[in-house]
Structure 1
């Protein structure tokens, strides 16, 4: 009698398609789209920064926000090597997923 059941995963064969770029999160800074800067919002009342689109400040709930460039460099806070990707992953395997702390404060989870 087996103690464990064996399960097999199957992934559908599909063509790799390019990932679209959300202009509210990333602005490309050159013609060949090889570099860019992250876009975020900064609260004019408490100075907190957040990555990506926002309609109110997560710290003080103010709606007085301005769009800011968060840059393209930061400090690697944590990372993991992903060997089994989510279904439909278009990139190479394995890949490194990291939590990056940006100089302006927010942390971003991204492929590094």
Structure 2
């Protein structure tokens, strides 16, 4: 196997470990909160009440206790990516499918949501 391929795999593994570490999760949660509250990106406050957010909407449920409601973070990732797969009648925008948010941004928002 070429040395470059091994180096890239090692770098990817190191990044994955950093993202799952407590410091990585805290950084991801802070970035996720910024995205969630950003009216031009996540825009979660348009529909949801979130602790610390200004001028929340009431279309969607209040976002609290999400780690206990969704112990599998993959469920939250799926909801943000394309909730229409689980619920075709949802008004939740398909942030991932429509490329409004990247996979990295969705994971950061999930990091934040799991702190609520």
Determine if the TM-score, normalized by the shorter chain, exceeds 0.5: no
**Larger RCO, structure (CA 8 Å, separation 6 or more):** 2
Task: Give the structure-2-normalised TM-score.
Answer: 0.24
Structure with the larger strand share: 1
Task: Give the structure-1-normalised TM-score.
Answer: 0.24
